[in-house]
Structure 1
Amino acid sequence: MGTKQNHLSFFSGMIILLILAICSCDSKPSKKEAPKKNDKVIKLELAKLKVLGNGTMIATDSSAFCDNLFSKKMALALLLGADSSCTQINWKGGQLKANIFLKNQYASTVYTLKITSFPFNGKAVFSKQNPTFSVKINNRPLFNLGACQLTKNGLFIPAHDSILTTVVVPKSGNFSISISAPEHAVWPIRSIELRPSASSALIKGIGYSPFRDCQMPGTIYLPTHKEIQEDLFRLSQSCNTIRTYAATGVNSVVPGLAKRHNLKVFAGAWIDGVQKEDQKEIAALISLADTVPQLDGLIVGNEYYLRHEKDKEAATRYLLNHIRTVKQEIKDKTLPISTAETHTHLFEWDFTNQITGFKPGMRDIIKELDVLLIHIYPSWNGRSINGAAKFTVDTYLSVQKFLRQKFPKENKRLIIGETGWPSKGGIIGKAVPSLPNQRKFLLEFLSLANKNNVEFMFFDAFDELWKMEGTDGLGQSWGYHFSNRTAKHDLNSVLLPIQALQYWPKNTSKNNVAFAKQSKEISNLFVIYDEWPSKPISVIKQKRKSEVSSNNTLISLGNFYPSGFMGPSKSGIKLSACDCSTPRSGEMAMKITIPFLKSSQPWGGIYWLANNSWNGPGINLTRKLIVKNNQSVILTFWAKGLKGKERVTFRVGGVGNGSDSIPFPVSDTVTLSNKWKQYSISLANENLSNVVGGFCLMAEGQQNQFQKQVTLFLDDIKYEVK
């Protein structure tokens, strides 16, 4: 599952459901570090906390607060973000701070941070405006929580009643905790407590890839060091190990940065059968091994055999040669060497889930390894969520037993290199992706892993929209955070000890929350843009400047590319294909700003060009769309202006070099409002056999009263059959 560059698939919306609570369990502490009977729970006194801003109050009886906002009578609560006016439009948000001393009681101590709150009355829906509740440790993000919106009054509330996470304390010291609520929101906090427990010596890790929205390997759009540092701090508080998937590019900086956060690191090299590129990866991995202090392991290849099993003998020989090269050339010969592969491609299995032997060539590969990373995915195998966690752990134990039998003197270490459950995507057999099922799997897996001393790296930390495996967004939806780093569930740590999870809710949310459905398009249409990325991406192996806007903002990748910048203003046009500030549907929209630079006729525009070229070849829409009798093709799109009253011309076709099958542009000039509105351009009787200019927009300074610029938003640009 974890990829470096070119795992591909489709992206589309599906039903999003809100859930509450995942649980995670720590391994049983050793006798030396058994929990002490006098371990003290630190309970913060709400009335004594430092409050910043005007938006916080203490309620001693809030049963009637704001028209019976809460479903239970509260003896005492800190209403973070609220004031006594009950006019939430005036609420400006709130923040509280606490300075506490956390003692390291063991070799390393994990404090479980639990924040409980009161449930609300009435229904709530997921908020597309995406205000965020946050928890910080020493002014660094620990836990971000999305918001829901009460249907009766529009008030923003936390997506979960209560949260459970961890704070790692390698040495005693003073810590600051800050908790914030956004504007027009309230967080009714009932209690805040921290409980210490011993850190586990077992691997409890996360698969980590640093790419965020609108970032993608193989392009110029890459995460910054600041973004990576922020991610690694979060992970350093919620896991003890990370693995990486590539040794070149931006991935090369991750191991060194992670070690600064006291994380164990298994550094990976991406092997894909392209000799020149693979040699660069191997050389980079060897360099990391020789330069990054105290790496914990090297991973040569990720699911290489799965992707090259057509020629099994060649695949195993190629991988084995690279493993041996790394072993021979690294300076530290004690550094553990591994590869990562699915359990079904490593071993032969019978119908009772028992191993019957090695896959061809795999015995020789495993013999060369110090550590084996095995990927176990019950969902990819089409299994029901019921029993999926048990299947995963049972498979691990079977492999562990088999390795001990086959290599009795070599003490092969076995780690689950990836396992997890997607929160959305296409159904495979009996495996249904959903947020509740993801929570159920994580809760049950971590509990069983704890009981059986299973070492693992959960897949993965964050959703990544560039990943394309499966259908309907399946490959993008494995994180226990959304891609914007807000938590999907009411807990987000794999370090939580069993003591913290025994009484945590096993079921889904107590809040009566419903997420709006994102219907899957089943009508006859051809999509230019609906989300990023909007269409299957072929293969991007190099930076292509013609695919970027003038300000280096990532554009949508599809069959028509917004690369035809025009007019005297073209050098200043700014385009973002993943603006999250005001989407019409889904999570993103396009934001375009056209400046009117000094000119006798100031104007600017963008053509969405077929195959990224003014000269074509075009797209044959007659092969993409099925048009029956009495039907015709129209182009539909949603648009709005930043302020309203922006005059913009939209058109299709008419690329003026004779290559476009629509020789003259079909145009419509409109005045935008600051509210989303759908527009359409009829293409009845037009020749759609070689469309080069799939979509176009233009704005003129004169029509816009010579303002400095116009800013508009676009969403859901589609050819439809009506």
Structure 2
Amino acid sequence: MRSTLLSLSLLSLLGLSAGQPRHQHQHLHRHRANRAPIAKREKITVTDSKYSTTTEVPEVVVYVDQNNNPIRTTTETVVYVPASVEMYEASTPTTPTTEISPLSTKAAPVVESEPSSYQAASPTTQQTSSSQHVSSADSYPTSSKSASSSAASPSSSSGALHGVAYSPYKGNGECKTADEVDADFALIAKDYGVIRLYGVDCDQVATAYAAAKKYGNKLFLGIFDINSIEDGVSTMATGVQNDWDIVDTVSVGNELVNDGGATVDQSISALSQTRSLLRSAGYEGPVVIVDTFVAILAHPELCDESDYCAVNVHPFFDPNTGPDGAGSFVTSTISNIRSKLSDSSKRIVVTETGWPWQGEANGEAVPGMDQQSTALSSIKKAYASNASNLILFTAFNDMWKKAEAATFMAEQYWGMGGQYSPCDEEDGLVA
């Protein structure tokens, strides 16, 4: 599958919600449910002169508004019709016909035979099978665009392992102690090479550093609040005791463009400032912006400016992707992102992906223990030869979050294998 961008002109459709964290934490594991009221159509017909025959392709469709802000993702059947065929069949179309136009900040042409709220932006034209997507994702080397890109690969001790996201918050909203963080790492360290953090609050850099040194992990650190970059870098340097060899990557923000928390220019400016401060502090590794695949498809410059491309891809929020299709969804999305980068050889790391084990169904995306196992197996299989470019979400259930209908009551239940942090079990917060 590929990913097609469709734009909608009605801002009233922008009815999206995200899981809300407890207010005292700077970091949010935001999940976009992308539940705008857009009816699934049987097929979308696109006129494209690059095709010599009519071709049907299942694709991930990304709906955006007239300003290219992401609204919803789903899987549709796209019918590519050669221009010559469309001329003769236009009088009796069986599905709406879409004219191709470049994706821009201007309103695109209106889709013919559809309500005026639908407009079209250009889909990509790269077409490969799921197995080819996996090969493509695995075969590109780390980019040499910047001096720090060569440092993007994890150490040899962790390069064969997937990474995992981790939160230092107890289910009651309090910060985990150093002993509680150590107990968490004792359970997960051997299975994951890189542990991803998102911020610097709760003394998490220092506590995670001590645990990572003890158990042999690398840390993927984050500056979540881009309004406090200088303080964040200082806290980070102190937390790792200037032992930067343990740091695999530093991220700037998490899904800020997708969530409207920052503009593209603000994110890139924050990236530049963070990189400069980190270099002065002695860190020479990669610095990246992390955002959703929807935001990056619309704004590939977020990746172009980063030392490698860091993207969150959650197949659960596509109502037409079941657990067994999770791996294909991820790899096809990455293939599509690659086609939009200025450097097609640039490294791309999936910085969040997973599947909830509890919650409400989202079409074919059904939570459950068996479903999570199937989805994770599908994703891991897709990255079997490229494990260091995959970070799973998340190490433990995040009981500090708020369950909401907008995220299918699943926001708390993405822990690997349904696993709870020992401190939450002790506090009786196990559901």
Within the candidate set 244, 247, 269, 1:293 is matched to 244
| TM-superposition CA deviations, 1:65-100 (whole Å, max 9, x none) | xxxxxxxxxxxxxxxxxxxxxxxxxxxxxxxxxxxx
Instruction: State whether structure 2 residue 182 is matched by structure 1 residue 245.
Output: no
* In structure 1, C-alpha distance between the alignment counterparts of 2:27 and 2:205, rounded to whole Å: 18
Tell me: CA distance 1:270–1:8, structure 2 relative to 1, closer, same or farther (3 Å). closer
TM-score, with length taken from structure 2:
0.57
How far does residue 237 in structure 1 lie from its aligned partner after superposition? 0.9
Aligned to 2:177: 224
Is the alpha carbon distance of 1:450 and 1:412 closer, same or farther for their aligned partners in structure 2, counting shifts above 3 Å? same
Distance 1:421 1:463 in 2: 12
Q: Which residue of 1 aligns with 2:259?
A: 307
SS at match of 2:270: helix
Name structure 2 gaps, 5 residues minimum.
Answer: 1-17, 31-134, 136-154
Alignment deviations for residues 98-138 of structure 1 (CA, whole Å, 9 cap, x no partner): xxxxxxxxxxxxxxxxxxxxxxxxxxxxxxxxxxxxxxxxx
Match of 1:340 in 2: 290
Corresponding residue number in structure 2 for 1:424: 358
Out of 277, 281, 306, the position equivalent to 1:329 is 277
CA contact (8 A) 1:282 1:326 kept: yes
TM-aligned CA distance change 1:435 to 1:301, over 3 Å: same
C-alpha distance in 2 between matches for 1:398 and 1:292: 37
* In 1: Cα distance, 2:235 partner to 2:283 partner: 17
Q: Deviations over 1:131-153 (max 9, x none)?
A: xxxxxxxxxxxxxxxxxxxxxxx
- Tell me, yes or no, if the aligned pair for 2:312 and 2:352 is still in contact at 8 Å: yes
Identify the residue that residue 233 of structure 1 maps to in structure 2.
186
Asked if 1:399 is matched to 2:337, the reply is yes
3-state SS, counterpart of residue 476 of structure 1:
coil
Opposite residue 274 of structure 2, the aligned amino acid is V
Q: Indicate how the Cα distance of structure 1 residues 289 and 319 shifts in structure 2: closer, same or farther if over 3 A, else same.
A: farther
Cα distance change, pair 392–385 in 1 and its aligned pair in 2 (3 A) = same
Please tell me whether Structure 1 or Structure 2 has the larger radius of gyration of its CA atoms.
1
Q: Provide the C-alpha distance between the structure 2 equivalents of 1:376 and 1:459, rounded to a whole number of angstroms.
A: 10
TM-score by length of 1: 0.35
Deviating 4+ runs (over 6 angstroms):
none
**Any conservation in 1 of the 2:229–2:274 contact (CA below 8 Å)?**
no
Q: Is the 8 A contact 1:464 1:483 kept in 2?
A: no
Identity fraction in percent: 22
Aligned equivalent of 2:47: none
What letter matches 2:349 in structure 1?
Answer: I
Report what 2:209 is aligned to.
256
Match of 2:304 in 1: 367
Give yes or no for the alignment of 1:379 onto 2:329.
no
* 1:587/1:326 CA distance change after superposition, 3 Å: closer
Structure showing the higher helix proportion among its residues = 2
2:381 equivalent in structure 1? 447
CA drift at 1:445 = 1.3
Q: Deviations over 1:498-531 (max 9, x none)?
A: xxxxxxxxxxxxxxxxxxxxxxxxxxxxxxxxxx
Q: Does 1:281 align with 2:226?
A: no
- Counterpart CA distance in 2 for 1:467 and 1:450 is 31
Question: Aligned partners of 1:368 and 1:400: how far apart in 2?
Answer: 14
Tell me the CA shift for residue 451 of structure 1: 4.7
Partner of 1:79: none
Assess, with a 3 A threshold, how the Cα gap between structure 1 residues 259 and 301 changes in structure 2: closer, same or farther: farther
Q: Alignment partner of 1:210: what SS? A: coil
Cα gap change, 1:283 to 1:319, in 2 (>3 Å): farther
Kept in 1: contact 2:205–2:240 (CA 8 A): no
Partner of 1:475: 411
Instruction: State the alpha-carbon separation in 2 of the partners of residues 259 and 245 from structure 1.
Output: 19
Tell me, yes or no, if the aligned pair for 2:165 and 2:392 is still in contact at 8 Å: yes
What's the offset of the Cα at 1:259?
3.2
Amino acid in the other structure paired with 2:224: W
Q: Is the 8 A contact 1:463 1:481 kept in 2?
A: no
Alpha-carbon distance, 1:336 to partner:
0.7
The number of aligned residues is: 279
Residue 270 (structure 1) aligns with: 224
Aligned with residue 459 of structure 1, among 368, 393, 401: 393
Aligned equivalents of 1:367 and 1:323: distance in 2?
A: 12
Q: 1:6 to 1:225 in 2, by over 3 A?
A: closer
Shift of the 298–421 alpha-carbon distance from structure 1 to 2, 3 Å rule, reads same
Q: Deviations over 1:314-371 (max 9, x none)?
A: 6112212211111112233632101211101110xxxxxxxxxx42xx41x3232112
Contact kept in structure 2, 1:204 and 1:241, CA below 8 Å? yes
Secondary structure of the equivalent of 1:474? coil
* C-alpha distance in 2 between matches for 1:246 and 1:412: 26
Q: Which moved more, 1:242-251 or 1:377-386?
A: 377-386
SS of residue paired to 1:475 = coil
Change (3 A) 1:465 1:453: closer
Q: Distance between the aligned counterparts of 2:293 and 2:347, measured in 1?
A: 15
How far apart in 1 are the matches of 2:203 and 2:419?
18
Q: Distance in 2 between matches of 1:454 and 1:333?
A: 20
Check the 8 A contact 2:26/2:199 in 1, yes or no: no
Residues 455 and 469 (structure 1), Cα distance of their counterparts in 2 relative to 1, 3 Å cut: farther
* Equivalent residue letter for 1:396: I
Q: For 1:341 and 1:396, how far apart are their aligned partners in 2? A: 13
User: Which structure exhibits the higher relative contact order, with contacts defined as CA atoms closer than 8 Å and separated by 6 or more residues?
Assistant: 2
Structure-2 change in CA distance of 1:316 and 1:254 (3 Å):
farther
Displacement of 1:270 in angstroms is: 1.0
Contact 2:181–2:208 (8 Å) recurs in 1: no
Cα pair distance change 1:200/1:401, threshold 3 Å: farther
* Counterparts in 2 of 1:288 and 1:372: CA distance versus 1, 3 Å: farther
Label 1:200 to 1:293 Cα distance change in 2 as closer, same or farther (>3 A).
closer
Structure 1 residues 381 and 396, CA gap change in structure 2 (3 angstroms): same
1:413 and 2:356 equivalent?
Answer: no
Match of 2:268 among 316, 320, 334: 320
* Secondary structure of 1:325's aligned partner: helix
The 1:456/1:469 distance shift into structure 2, 3 A limit, reads farther
159, 162, 165: which one aligns with 1:207 = 165
Matched, 1:390 2:328: yes
Q: Which runs of 5+ in 1 are unaligned?
A: 10-26, 28-169, 171-197, 348-357, 487-531, 533-577, 581-585, 589-722
Does the 8 Å contact 2:196/2:220 carry over to 1? yes
Deviation at 1:478, TM superposition (A): 0.4
Contact preservation (8 Å) 1:245, 1:251:
no
Question: Alignment partner of 2:216: what SS?
Answer: coil
1:199 positional shift:
6.4
For the 8 Å contact 1:373–1:417, the answer to whether it is kept is yes
* SS of 1:209 mapped into structure 2: coil
Map of 1:75 onto structure 2: none
Which amino acid is 1:390 matched to? S
Cα RMSD (Å): 3.4
* Contact 2:350/2:389, CA 8 A, preserved across alignment: yes
